Amino acid sequence: GEDVEQSLFLSVREGDSSVINCTYTDSSSTYLYWYKQEPGAGLQLLTYIFSNMDMKQDQRLTVLLNKKDKHLSLRIADTQTGDSAIYFCAESGGYQKVTFGTGTKLQVIP
């Protein structure tokens, strides 16, 4: 079945850039997503990228997709303490169910 892998933990200093990485196995993925989970809350979609794109930028967020290597990354510029959360990578074939990764806990040190 589909598999999505992420490292479990990342620690950065406030003001630095954060890069969260993800690898997936499903070559038929149509959409790839980044969800954010703040403490005590459910997941919320942060951004997504269509599989025919290489990059998507949205304010402080940059998503890079290397389809050949099945690698997705999320870069957060000027990381703030409010960015501390768990970030989930996910993939979907479009109209099918979504497969989530293990989540990366981002700790921002003031």
Partner 1 sequence: DADVTQTPRNRITKTGKRIMLECSQTKGHDRMYWYRQDPGLGLRLIYYSFDVKDINKGEISDGYSVSRQAQAKFSLSLESAIPNQTALYFCATSDSQRGQNEQFFGPGTRLTVL
Interface with partner 1 includes 110 (CB under 8 A)?
Answer: no
Interface with partner 1 includes 29 (CB under 8 A)?
Answer: no
Joined together, the tokens standing for residue 92 give 């979907």
| C-alpha to C-alpha distance for 16 and 79, rounded to whole angstroms | 6
Question: Residues 54-83: x/- map of binding to partner 1 (CB under 8 A)?
Answer: ------------------------------
Cβ 44 to partner 1 shortest distance, Å: 7
Interface with partner 1 includes 1 (CB under 8 A)?
Answer: yes
Residues that bind partner 1 (rule: CB under 8 A) add up to a total of 27
Cβ distance to partner 1 smaller for residue 41 or 69: 41
7, 55, 96, 97, 103 from 76: Cα distances, Å: 16, 14, 28, 27, 16
For residue 22, give the nearest of 102, 107, 106, 109 by alpha carbon.
Answer: 102
Decide: 88 and 103 in contact? Cβ < 8 Å: yes
Residue ranges binding partner 1 (CB under 8 A): 1, 4, 6, 8, 31, 33, 35, 40-45, 48, 50, 88, 92, 94-103
